[in-house]
Amino acid sequence: MDIAVVVKLVPDLVEELAIDESGAALDTSYLRLIVNELDNHAVEQAILLKESAGGQVTVIAPDLEGVDDILFTAAAKGADRLIKLTGAMSGVNNYALSNSLAAIIREIKPHLVLTGVQANNDLDGSVGPRLAALLGMAYVGYVSGVTPANDSVKVRKEYSGGLVAQVAVRLPAVLGIQAAGKPPRYVPISKIRQMSKTARIKDQPAGDLDAGNGAAVKHMFKPEMGTHATMIEGEADEVADRLIAIFKEQDIL
Amino acid sequence: MSQDIFVVIEHLRGKVADISYVMLAAARVIAQATGGQVVAALLGHNAQELAGNLAADRVLYVEHPALADFTSAAYQTVLESLLREHAPRAALLGDTSIGGDVAAWLAARLSWPLVSSCRSVSAEGAVIRFVSQTCGGKIMAEGDLPGPCALVMIVPGGYKPEQGQSAQTPQVTSAAAPPLEGLRVAVDNYVEPDTSDVDISREPILVSVGRGIQTLDSIGLVEELARALGCPVCASRPIVDQGWLPTTRLVGKSGKVVKPRLYLALGISGAPEHVEGMGESEMIIAVNTDPAAPIFNVAKYGATVDLFDLAPALTEKIQEARRQRGTHHGAASS
Ligand SMILES: Cc1cc2nc3c(=O)[nH]c(=O)nc-3n(C[C@H](O)[C@H](O)[C@H](O)COP(=O)(O)OP(=O)(O)OC[C@H]3O[C@@H](n4cnc5c(N)ncnc54)[C@H](O)[C@@H]3O)c2cc1C
Ligand SMILES: Nc1ncnc2c1ncn2[C@@H]1O[C@H](COP(=O)(O)O)[C@@H](O)[C@H]1O
């Protein structure tokens, strides 16, 4: 089964986020980008499927700071082909992106396209269902586990509260991955370094990145909730003392 | 084209999901300004009675055996035809496992703009404004909803489900389903949540751990703290996805909704998907080294100390307090 995985780079939310001068976008000058965590699961799911059913895994990622490492890491895990989408990739919307990804995927002709089900910074829905519409493929998202079955795959689709549906999806299809069937594997740095010498990344121009009729953000702000926590100051020991007092007040201790 | 606001009702196995009522509440805000109607689109098989308490001006009911379960393929086909025909000012879908399978697909097919992660809306005359959450709840983004038709994916939190419920049954009209043959997606069966473990939704006290814990080995620290407090450990999604705790302990959008008397969150950022499952707890106490972590926006008390320092110190003090109390009680009764 040939599989294409599209990987996104997203802001690392552990870092402090700032809004730029326009007031309508994140300040990217200090922004640290990391791979969308769900995409690690999508890559893992692709490798798991390759291990059980054979086929080629192609990983496609936009040309942004740190992308080579991400692609070489995927190769170290077992990806066969690496494609870097070149062009003005910063801040591109999903309308434009899906069109250029669809063009590339049409050439690869995979049986399955895997994406992360969503990313932490999208404001115009996910790429996966758009790709499915453009490619005329089936789409199922919130998937945690995929098993091959003849001309279909059986997927676990998650609903809230821990309810799962086993769903049959006829190929070719796009799946939005929430979690791989197993936790993403670890690869040692040495193996990634080795890949950076042997694996080849193919540059592919994204072409015309037309933003279409997407909604424009006019204003970004940090949420100021009416209620912010009362902060307990001091070292761990003092905080623990205060918590004990609170537990006692609340009849928890 | 009309000024109506469509709401795609989510329901699963005979029950309308809360997000449907949240969407109806949001739709009402817009419809009042545009002068259109709130129209609930209800798709199902023998599901007409689910229209009962929807706070809509009318319900468009699409009946078909292929709609007995939610499948992306059937919903996509029906909704594309319904939205093409009615061309409402906006169609609202849940930013959920159901809405997520169809909204962006419809946006591509209909060439309508799409706004996701929308928490609240406001409208003044013809201008409809959306407020969406992004970056794990650390940033809000605001803008105008483009026209003439648009899709909006709604997250919970901006409206209470009760606001979208009504004591009166709305008027229901049937709409014919387009042909639904050769669909490429089918539900085989449902797998029920595991009930052999503790049910965290019934526990009065919970200690919850997030990615701040870093390694499997360190989970023991949190387990000891929970043991001292006499409660189970629960977790955010990354911990469960790593296989460090079972899925039965997952709190949030894809896990359980909990409302304990005390929810002690250690190393959890407070992403919207997590808060969805614990935001209604009676008292939230959060420990997180990042003073800007969104968890502090829902917590009653917070501290920015390192959980690796706090957990052992707190465990010891709890044990100490229990010992003192034990001696004290012992003394009184002897
Ligand atoms: C469709 C979908 C469904 C989802 N469903 C759920 C769900 O049901 N439940 C859920 O939880 N998530 C869910 N998520 C994931 C969610 O978006 C977040 O990614 C997740 O909640 C983050 O978990 P976290 O807070 O543990 O990790 P992070 O966001 O990485 O936060 C870790 C926190 O620990 C703090 N920290 C680090 N070191 C320390 C230390 N030594 N001491 C104290 N603090 C420290 C950091 O400052 C940081 O704030 C879902 C996501 C998607 C896309
Ligand atoms: N710029 C991008 N490059 C490659 N893949 C992307 C990009 N944006 C989104 N995706 C894919 O779509 C998924 C969902 O992200 P989003 O569409 O932003 O919600 C990601 O996990 C990726 O698999």
Minimal CA separation from A187 to chain B, in Å? 15
| Identity at A15, one-letter amino acid code | E
B206 assigned to some structural domain: yes
Segment A4-37, tens digit of pLDDT: 999 999 999 988 899 999 999 999 888 899 999 9
- The binding-site residues of ligand 2, defined as CB within 6 angstroms of any ligand atom, are A 6-8, 36, 38-39, 42, 61-62, 94, 97, 115-116, 118-119, 122, 126-128
pLDDT bin (cut points 50, 70, 90) of residue A225 is low
Q: What is the CATH number of the domain that holds B321?
A: 3.40.50.1220
Ligand 1 in reach of B94 Cβ (< 6 A): no
The answer on B161 and B29 residing in a single domain is: yes
The answer on B207 and B166 residing in a single domain is: no
The answer on B144 and B33 residing in a single domain is: yes
Mutate to test the interface with A, among B76, B109, B114 (most CBs of A within 10 A): B114
Segment A170-218, tens digit of pLDDT: 999 999 999 999 999 999 999 999 999 999 999 999 988 888 888 899 9
Question: Phi and psi at residue A204, in whole multiples of 5°?
Answer: -130, 115
B132 C-alpha to ligand 1 centroid (Å): 19
Contact A111/A3 with Cβ under 8 angstroms?
Answer: yes
Minimal CA separation from A114 to chain B, in Å? 14
The answer on B167 and B27 residing in a single domain is: yes
Tell which of B175, B192, B214 closes a domain.
B175
Element at A226 (helix H, strand E): none
A165 CB neighbours in chain B (<8 A) are: 69, 187-191
Identify any residues that bridge with A113 across adjacent strands, giving them in sequence order. Answer: A4, A174
B210 C-alpha to ligand 1 centroid (Å): 6
Q: State whether residue B256 sits within 8 Å of chain A by CB.
A: yes
Nearest to B239 by CA among B231, B250, B228: B250
Segment B100-124, tens digit of pLDDT: 999 999 999 999 999 999 999 999 9
B120 assigned to some structural domain: yes
The answer on B261 and B114 residing in a single domain is: no
Indicate if the alpha-carbon torsion angle B48, B49, B55, B57 is positive or negative.
positive
Minimal CA separation from A220 to chain B, in Å? 4
A115 CB neighbours in chain B (<8 A) are: none
Among chain B residues, CA nearest to A176: B101
Q: What is the CATH number of the domain that holds B163?
A: 3.40.50.620
Segment B145-203, tens digit of pLDDT: 999 999 999 999 999 999 999 999 999 999 999 999 999 999 999 998 889 999 999 99
Among chain A residues, CA nearest to B299: A229
Identify any residues that bridge with B118 across adjacent strands, giving them in sequence order. Answer: B132, B154
Minimal CA separation from A171 to chain B, in Å? 8
Q: In angstroms, rounded to a whole number, what is the distance separating the alpha carbons of residues B155 and B325?
A: 46
Tell which of B175, B209, B233 closes a domain.
B175
Tell which of B140, B175, B210 closes a domain.
B175
Determine the Cα angle at B286 with ends B283 and B288, to 5°: 175
B185 assigned to some structural domain: no
B186 assigned to some structural domain: no
A167 CB neighbours in chain B (<8 A) are: 71, 185-188
Task: Give me the mean pLDDT over the A152-166 stretch.
Answer: 95
The answer on B325 and B226 residing in a single domain is: yes
How many domains does the structure of chain B reveal?
A: 2
Residue B330: the pLDDT is: 43
Structural domain range at position B139: 5-175
Segment B221-271, tens digit of pLDDT: 999 999 999 999 999 999 999 999 999 999 999 999 999 999 999 999 999
Indicate if the alpha-carbon torsion angle B81, B87, B93, B95 is positive or negative.
positive
Contact A64/A10 with Cβ under 8 angstroms?
Answer: no
**Which ipTM was obtained for this model?**
0.95
B191 assigned to some structural domain: no
HEC string of chain B equals: CCCCEEEECCEECCEECHHHHHHHHHHHHHHHHHCCCEEEEEEECCCHHHHCCECCCEEEEEECHHHCCCCHHHHHHHHHHHHHHHCCCEEEEECCCCHHHHHHHHHHHHCCCEEEEEEEEEEECCEEEEEEEEHHHCEEEEEECCCCCEEEEECCCCCCHHHHECCCCCEEEEECCCCCCCCCEEEEEEECCCCCCCCHHHCCEEEEECHHHCCHHHHHHHHHHHHHHCCCEEECHHHHHCCCCCHHHEECCCCECCCCCEEEEECCCCCHHHHHHHCCCCEEEEECCCCCCHHHHCCCEEECCCHHHHHHHHHHHHHHHHHHHHHHHHHHHC
Contact B173/B60 with Cβ under 8 angstroms?
Answer: yes
B207 assigned to some structural domain: yes
B104 CB neighbours in chain A (<8 A) are: 94, 124-130, 133
Q: 3-state class of A247 per DSSP?
A: helix
The answer on B231 and B105 residing in a single domain is: no
* Cis geometry, peptide bond prior to residue B148 (ω within 30 degrees of 0): yes
Contact A56/A23 with Cβ under 8 angstroms?
Answer: no
B188 assigned to some structural domain: no
* Residue of A239 and A226 predicted with greater confidence: A239
B253 assigned to some structural domain: yes
Q: Which two tokens stand for residue A225?
A: 């909730």
Partner residue facing A161 (CB), from B72, B193, B309: B193
Could you give all domains of chain A from N- to C-terminal order, each with its CATH number?
2-205 (3.40.50.620)
Segment B56-97, tens digit of pLDDT: 999 999 999 999 999 999 999 999 999 999 999 999 999 999
The answer on B249 and B130 residing in a single domain is: no
The answer on B127 and B251 residing in a single domain is: no
**DSSP line for A98-151:** HHHHHHHHHHH--SEEEEES--TT-SS--HHHHHHHHHT-EEEEEEEEEEEETT
Q: Do A163 and B190 touch (CB under 8 A)?
A: yes
